[in-house]
Structure 1
Amino acid sequence: MSAEEGSAFDVYRQRVERPLYRLFTEYAPGRLQWLTIGMVGNVIARIASLLPPLVLGVAIDSVLTGDQPYTLPLVPNSWMPVTDAEQFWFSAWIIVGSFVTTSAFTYIYGVAANNFAHRVMHTVRTDSFETMQRLDMTFFDDKQTGEVMSVLNNDANNLENFLDNALQNSVRLSVMILGIALILFSLNWQLALVTLVAVPALFGLTIWFMRAVEPRYVKRRASVGNLNTRLENALSGVELVKTTGTEAYETERIEDASWRYFRDTMGVLRLSYIYRPGMELLAGLSFAVTFIVGGLWVFTGEAPFMLTGTLQAGEFITFLFMTQRFVTPLSQVSNIVDQYENAKASCERIFGLMDIPSQITEVEDPIEVEDPAGHVEYDHVDFGYADVQDGEPESLVLEDVSFEAEPGETLALVGPTGAGKSTLLKLLMRLYDPVDGEVRVDGHDVRELSLESLRQHIGYVSQTTFLFDGTVAENIRYGRFEADREAVVKAAKAAEAHEFIEALPKGYDTRIGERGVKLSGGQQQRLSIARTMLQDPEILILDEATSAVDTETEMLIQRSLDRLSENRTTFVIAHRLSTVREADEILVLEDGQIVERGDHDELIEYDGLYAKLWGVQAGEIDDLPEEFVQRARERARERPGLSDAPDSSDDD
C-alpha cells in the first residue's frame, strides 16, 4: 500500500529525518572501537600506498639522473643516505615496506570495519524484528508479509553494504585526494593546479546526481517490497494456484511486479549512465591534461603556456602515477553515491518500521495474572479498526456488546460471516483494544493486566492452524519449551493425536515441513489442540476448530476438544450449530451486535435468527428467506436485553 493510500509503514517512513545520522547516533555507541580501528587502519594503508610513486620520482631524479638532491617531504635531511647505492637501497626498502604496510593495515581495517558493520546490522535486524513483533494486529492486517521481509532482509543488507564498503571507501577517497594533493603541491604547485582543476566539476556532478537520484531510489525500494510480496503470496498459495489452474494469472502478476521493479531500477540506472561515465571522463581528462602539460614541460625543457619554472622527469613520473591513483578512486565515487542512496532509502524504511507506535501497550505496573478463575465480562464494548493517520476508528464493527461468562462455563458465538465473532474474542486476548467499554477477566480490565501473563492463560485453537518447520514434538512444545517428552505425549494422547504420530517415520521426531505441509488438515488441527492441551489454559477460545475436516476427523477432534474444555471457561465460535447445542449460553451476533441470547432450546423456541439457521442446517428449511434478517432485527428490539443491530459490518 502506498503512502497515498494511508499505509502506516509509509506514513512513518516519510517522517524519518536524517536516517543515516540516526543510524550512527543510535547504533554506533558501544562499537566505536571497531570503527576507529578500521578508520585508522584505512588511513595508514592509504598513506602507505602513496609512498612508492613519490619515492620512485625522487630516486629517478637523485639516484639515476643525479639532477636533484635526495629529499623526501616531512623527512629531515639528516636522515637521508649520502651515497647513490645507499639512496638506491633506501628507496627500495621504503617501497617494499610501503607495500607490506599497505597490505597489513588493509587487513586490519577490513576486519575491524566488517566487525563494526556486521555488529551494527545484527542489532538493527534484531531490533527491527523485535519491534515488528510488538506491533498491533492492525499493522499486520494492513501490511503485506513480503514488504516486511524486504525491510528485514534487503534493506538491512543495504545498510550493511554501506557500513562495510561505502563508509570505508569514502575515507579512502578523502585520504587519497588530500594526500595526493599535498604531495603534488609539494612537488610542483603549478602542475598540481592543472591536475586538480577537474575536482570542483567532479563534486558538482556528484551533488546533482545525489539530488536527482534520491526519489528514484525510494521508488525502487518500494517496488522491491511489492515484488517480494507477490512472490511470497504466490509461493505460499501454490496449492491453490495449481488446483485452480491459475498459473498464468500468477505469472502475469509477478511479471507486472517485476516490470515495475525493472522500470524503477532503470530510472536509477539512466542517471547512473550519465553520472558514472561523466565522472570517468572528467577524471580521465585530468590525467590526459597532466600528461600533455607535464610531458611538454619535460620534453621541451620549458614551462608551457603561462607556467614558470622547471619540472624534472622524476617529478613528472610521480605526477603521472599520482594522477592515475587519483583517477581510480574518483571513478568509484559513483559506487559510493549508489550505496549511500540505497542505504539512505533503506534506513528510512527500517526506522519507519521501528517508529510505528503500538496501541496495545501495558500500563506502568501491570497486574500479573496468576491462576485466574476464568470469569470473563464484556461491558458495553464498542470496537472499530483505527485509522492510520489519527488512530480513530473509521466505523464501528462491534457496538454495545455486553455479556458474562462464569468460570467453567461454555459460551458459544454464532451468526453470519462478518458479524464480528472472531474480532470480539480477539479483544479478550488484547490483539485489539475496544474503542469504548471494558473487557474484564476476574474483575480486572484486560488493559491493566500483563500482556504475557494474560495470553499465557488463554488457549486459542483456530480453524487455520499454523505449524512451524520442525519436529512434531517441537510444535506441540511451542510456548511451553521446558515441557518434557512425557508431558508432550500425554497432551498428544488427549488430543487424539498419539496414534497417527507414532505411525510417522520418526514418531515425535518427524519433521513436518513448512506450515506442517506433510500432515493432513485434521492431523495439523490435532497437533494444534495438543499444543493447547500442554499449555493448560484457564480460558479457552475455539474458533471454528472443526469446520474444515471430515466427519470422522471431526468426531476425534470434538472428543479432544471436550476433554480440553472441561472445567475451563470456554468460548466457541461455530457455523456448524450442532457443535454448540450443549453450550451453557449461545450468543447470536449480527452486524456487530448481539441480537439473540439463550441456550439451544430457548433460542429454538424463540424462533428467531438462530432457529432459522438451525432449520437450514438440519434440512428443515431449504434456504434462509431474504426478508428474514430485517424481521429478526425488529423482533430483537422487542425482546428485553437485546440490542439494535447497526448497518455496519466487519470481516471475521
Structure 2
Amino acid sequence: MTTPDSEAFETELDAYRDRVSKPLLRLFRAYGVGEWRWLALGLTTSVLTYGALLVTPIVLGTTIDAVFTRESGYALPLVPDAWLPTGQTEQFRLSAIIIGVALLGGAILQWIRGVAINFFAHGVMFAIRVTAYEKMQRLDMTFFDNKETGEIMSILNNDAGNLEIFFDNVLGDSVRIGVIVVGVMAALLYTNWQLALVTLGAVPLLVVFTWWFVRVIEPRYTRHRETIGDLNTRIENGLSGIELVKTTASEDFENGRVRSVSRDVFDANMDVLKLSYFYRPGMELITGAALLATFIIGGIWVFSGPPLFFTGDLSIGDFVVFMLLTQRLTGPMAQLSSIVDWYENARASGKRICGLMDVPVRIENASNPLALDDVDGQIEYDDVTFAYESGETVLDGVTFDVEAGETVALVGPTGAGKSTVAKLLLRLYDVTDGAVRVDGHDVRDVDLAGLREGIGYVSQDTFLFDGTVAENIRYGRFDATDEEARGAASAAEAHGFIENLPDGYETRVGERGVKLSGGQRQRIALARAILRDPEIILLDEATASVDTETEYLIQRSLDRLTADRTTLAIAHRLSTIKDADTILVVEGGEIVERGSHDELLAEDGLYAKLWGVQAGELDELADEFVERAAGSAAESRR
C-alpha cells in the first residue's frame, strides 16, 4: 500500500480517512454480520411491534361504522367474514379483545426488540473498539510521532460511541419507520385510495428535502468530529503537562488555548445544529400540511359529499381511520431528521475509524519468523542508514559490533541519533538501508515479540502505569511471584523506599507514576528490567534526570544488571560509561570516533572535549557530595 503524499494531508491518518468510501457498510460487513442473529431478532420484532400499532386505528374505524353508526358491516382486513360474530355486543367485545391483545403484544415485542438491537449494537461497538485498539498497538512509532494522543482517544472512544448509537437507533428506527410508512400507506389506500393520494402527496417533497439536507450536512459533521479530536488533544496535553503549566504560571495561556479550540467545537457544532433545526421543522411542516389537507378534505367529504374531483362515499369510521393513521405517519416521517443526523454523525466517525484501520502496519513479523529461543547477545550494525518519511536522515552508514557480554557506549551531542540506534535494535523503527543483526540474524527476520522479550530497555523517560508498585515491576513478566518482584526491587536499590511507602508494594503510583520522584520511578523501571532477566540491555540515558546520590544508587544497580550481559548504553554523563569496552562518539548521524576511554582521550577529539567539560562539573559535584555525606555522618553521631 502506498503512503499518500504527506504534503497533501496533515497526517497519514487524515490521508487514509479521506480515501474511505461507504464506511458504515464496510464496518457492518466486518463486524455486524457476526451478530446477525441478534439483528435478525431485533428487526423481526420491530416489524411485528410496529405492525401491531396499526391494528388499533383499523379496528376502531371498523367498530365505529359497524357497531355505533351502522353505516357498514363488521369486517376486518385479512379475516374471513365467517369467523366474525354477527351481534353488536359480540362485535364490540371482539374489537376490545383485539385492541387489548395488540397493545399487550406490542409492549412485549418492544421489550424483545430493545434487548436484541442493543445486544447487536453494543456487540458491534465492542468489536470495533477492541479491533481499533489492537490495530493501534501494531502501528510503528512513526505513526505516533505524527499523531496526538487526544485524537486517538477521540477515535477509540467518541467515534466508537457514535457507531453504537447508529447501530442501536438508526437500524431499529429505520425499520420502524419503514413498517409504519408501508403499513399506513397500504391501509390508507385500502380504506380510500383517493383521499390517500392527498395524504401521501407529501412523500416526494420529504424525499427531495432529505436528499438536499444530506448533501449539505455531511462536510459539517466531518468538521465537527475533527474539532472534537483537537479538543481532546489539547485537554490531554494540558493535563499531562500540568506541572509545567503551574511552574511557569501559564494557566492563562493554556486556558486561552482550550478556549480557542472549544470555540472551534462550538462553532462546528452550531453549524450542524442550525441546519438540523432547519431540517426538522421543515419535515414537520410538510407532514403537518399533509395532515391538515387530509382533515379539511375528509371533513368536507363527510359533511357535504365528495369535494372537487373526488367520487364515492367516506364514512365517519373511515375518516377516523384516516386521521389516526395520518397522525401515526406524521411522527415517523418527521423523525427522519434524527435518523439523518445519526447517520451523518456515524458516517464521519466511521471514516475516521476506517482510516485508522487502513494505515499500514510497517513493523510486523516476516512470513516465517525465526524464533530467538536462546539469545547469546551478539549485536551487529551493518552500514545502517535511517531516514524519516519526510526525508530527514538521522543515521548515515553506522557500523559497529557488540560481542556477547560486552558493553558498548554511545555518546555525542543532543540530536546526534544515539536514541535512534537503540530503537532500531528494538524494531520500533526499521532501517532505511543496511541491517541490524542479533546473533547473526537480521532483526527483520526474527519473531518480533521474541526479539523484544530478549532485550531489557531502560530509558530516560520512565513510564509507569496507574497501578501498584508491584504491578509496574511485573509489567512484561506478569507471572512473576512476589518473591521475584521483591528480589528485583532489591537488586535495583528500590526495596528500601518501597517498604517506606504507605502501602508498600501495593501503593498506587498514580497516572504516569506522579506520586513518586524521578529517581524512584527510574529504580522501579530498573527492577522491571532486572525481573525480565534479558540477555541484552539497552540503557538510553538511564541516569540523566536524577540527582547525584540517586545516580550513585542507580549506577550500582546498573552494574549488577549489566554484569555478564551484552549492554548498549547511551549516555550523557560520560562518567557512567568510561569503563565500557568500546565507546562510540556519534555526531550528525555518523560515528566519528571509537575506542576505549583512554584511547579517545589520547585522540583529543570530540570525546576529549566533552570529557573535559564534564570532568570539571563532576569534580564540583563530588566535592558537594562528600561535604553532604560528612554532614550527615556528624549529625548521626550527635
TM-score range with shorter-chain normalisation? over 0.9
Q: Which residue number corresponds to residue 73 of structure 1?
A: 77
**1:217 corresponds to 2:218:** no
| Counterpart check, 1:400 vs 2:397 | yes
Give 1:30 shift.
Answer: 2.4
Q: Structure 2: how far apart are the matches of 1:620 and 1:189?
A: 98
Between the aligned partners of 1:11 and 1:81, the Cα distance in structure 2 is: 70
2:528 aligned with 1:524: no
Once the 2 structures are TM-superposed, how far is the Cα of residue 6 of structure 1 from its aligned partner?
3.9
* 1:46-70 deviation per Cα after TM superposition (whole angstroms, max 9, x unaligned): 0001111111111111101111101
Distance 1:542 1:268, change over 3 A: same
Give the conservation status (yes or no) of the 8 Å contact 2:458–2:540. yes
**1:531-610 residue pairs with structure 2 within 5 A?**
531-610=528-607
8 Å Cα contact 2:12/2:143 also seen in 1:
yes
Alignment CA distance shift 1:61-1:325 (3 Å): same
Give the CA deviation at 1:36.
Answer: 0.3
SS at match of 1:619: helix
Task: Give the match for residue 243 of structure 1.
Answer: 247
Q: Deviations over 1:124-175 (max 9, x none)?
A: 1100000000001000000100000000000000000000001110110011
Alpha-carbon separation, structure 2, partners of 1:283 and 1:472: 64
Partner of 1:424: 421
Which residue number in structure 2 is paired with residue 627 of structure 1?
none
Deviations 1:464-519 (A, max 9, x none): 11111111111100110111101000000000000111111111111111111111
Q: How does 1:362-441 map to 2 (within 5 A)?
A: 362-387=365-390, 394-441=391-438
Q: 1:8 to 1:452 in 2, by over 3 A?
A: same
Shift of 1:39: 0.2
CA contact (8 A) 1:2 1:10 kept: no
Q: Which one of 159, 165, 168 corresponds to residue 155 of structure 1? A: 159
Separation in structure 1 between the aligned mates of residue 6 and residue 589 of structure 2, nearest angstrom? 30
2:502 pairs with 1:493:
no
**Alpha-carbon contact 2:9-2:15 (below 8 Å) kept:** no
Structure 1 residue 620: Cα displacement: 8.7
Given candidates 262, 266, 270, the residue that maps to 2:274 is 270
CA 1:2–1:216 in structure 2 vs 1: closer, same or farther (change >3 Å)?
Answer: farther
Q: Which residue in 2 is equivalent to 1:360? A: 363
Residue 126 in structure 1 maps to residue 130 in structure 2: yes
- What is the rounded CA distance, in whole Å, between the counterparts of 2:277 and 2:7 in structure 1? 30
Aligned to 1:648: none
Offset of residue 271 of structure 1:
1.5
1:200-211 superposed matches below 5 A: 200-211=204-215
SS of the residue 1:303 aligns to = coil
CA distance in 1, matches of 2:122, 2:182: 29
The corresponding residue for 2:472 is: 475
> What amino acid maps onto 2:400 in structure 1?
F
Match of 2:17 in 1: 13
**In structure 1, which of residues 284, 305, 310 is the aligned counterpart of residue 308 of structure 2?**
305
**Unaligned segments of structure 2, at least 5 residues:** 619-638
Contact preservation (8 Å) 1:586, 1:597? yes
Q: Distance in 1 between matches of 2:250 and 2:503?
A: 36
Query: 1: CA distance between counterparts of 2:248 and 2:9?
Result: 31
C-alpha displacement of 1:4: 4.0
Change (3 A) 1:620 1:355: closer
Matches of 2:576 and 2:338, distance apart in 1: 65
The aligned counterpart of 1:327 is: 330
**Which AA in structure 1 matches 2:38?**
W
- C-alpha contact 1:73 1:186 (8 A) present in aligned 2: no
Runs of 4+ aligned residues of structure 1 deviating over 2 Å after TM superposition are: 1-6
Partner residue, 2:297: 293
Quote the Cα distance in structure 1 between the aligned partners of 2:29 and 2:173: 21
Output the amino acid matched with 2:335.
Answer: Q
1:81, distance to aligned residue in structure 2 (A): 1.3
Contact 2:6 2:12 in 1 (8 A): no
Look up the equivalent residue of 2:88 and give its one-letter code. D
2-side partners of 1:82 and 1:417: how far apart? 99
Matching residue's letter, 1:186: Y
Q: Does 1:456 align with 2:453?
A: yes
Name the structure 2 match of 1:615.
612
- The 8 Å contact of residues 3 and 11 in structure 1, kept in 2 or not, is answered as no
Distance (whole Å) between structure 2 residues aligned to residue 101 and residue 511 of structure 1? 53
CA–CA separation in structure 1 for the residues paired with 2:617 and 2:145: 39
1:2 and 1:239 map into 2 onto residues whose CA distance is 34
What is the deviation of 1:395?
3.0
Q: Is the 8 A contact 2:409 2:570 kept in 1?
A: yes
Q: Distance in 2 between matches of 1:386 and 1:455?
A: 24
Looking at structure 1, the residues matched to 533 and 388 of structure 2 have their Cα atoms a distance apart, in angstroms, of 31
The one-letter amino acid paired with 1:378 is Y
Task: Write the distance in 2 (CA, Å) between the matches of 1:153 and 1:396.
Answer: 36
1:61 paired with 2:58, answer no
AA aligned to 2:114 is: G
Structure 1 residues 3, 255: closer, same or farther in 2, change over 3 A? farther
Matched residues, number: 615
Matches within 5 A, 1:106-125: 106-125=110-129
Alignment-mate amino acid for residue 184 of structure 1: L
RMSD: 1.4
Alpha-carbon distance in 2 for matches of 1:412, 1:77: 98
2:171 aligns with one of 167, 171, 178: 167
Give the secondary structure class of the aligned counterpart of 1:372: coil
Aligned partner letter, 2:15:
V
In structure 2, distance between residues paired with 1:445 and 1:206: 59
Q: Is the 8 A contact 1:13 1:351 kept in 2?
A: yes
User: TM-score under structure 2 normalisation?
Assistant: 0.95
Distance 1:601 1:481 in 2: 43
Q: Secondary structure at the match of 2:61?
A: helix
* Structure 2 CA distance for aligned equivalents of residues 4 and 79 of structure 1: 73
Shift of 1:291: 0.8
Distance across 2 between alignment mates of 1:619 and 1:532:
33
Q: 2:106 aligns with which of 93, 102, 114?
A: 102
CA distance, structure 1, for counterparts of residue 269 and residue 440 of structure 2: 57
Choose from 161, 181, 194 the match for 2:185: 181
1:348 aligned partner: 351
For the residue of structure 1 that corresponds to 2:312, the secondary structure is coil
Q: How does 1:440-451 map to 2 (within 5 A)?
A: 440-451=437-448
Q: Which amino acid aligns with 2:306?
A: A
| Distance apart, 1:3 and its partner CA | 8.3
The residue that corresponds to 1:639 in the other structure is none
- In the aligned structure 1, how far is the partner of 2:259 from the partner of 2:37? 47
**Bigger mean CA deviation after superposition, 563-572 or 21-30:** 21-30
Measure, in 1, the Cα distance between the counterparts of 2:555 and 2:355. 45
TM-superposed CA distance for 1:29, in Å, is 2.3
- 1:77, CA displacement in angstroms? 1.0
- Deviation, 1:5, is 3.8
How many Å separate the matches in 1 of 2:588 and 2:89?
99
Q: Are the equivalent residues in 1 in contact too, given 2:422–2:540 (CA < 8 A)?
A: no
> What is the TM-score with the length of structure 1 in the denominator?
0.93
The amino acid across from 1:88 in the alignment is F
24, 31, 35: which is aligned to 2:28? Answer: 24
- State how far apart, in whole Å, the 2-side matches of 1:252 and 1:620 are: 41
Alignment match of 2:505 (pick from 490, 508, 520) = 508
Amino acid in the other structure paired with 2:509: I
For the pair 1:261 / 2:280, whether they are aligned, the reply is no
Partner of residue 628, structure 2? none
Deviation, structure 1 residue 114: 0.5
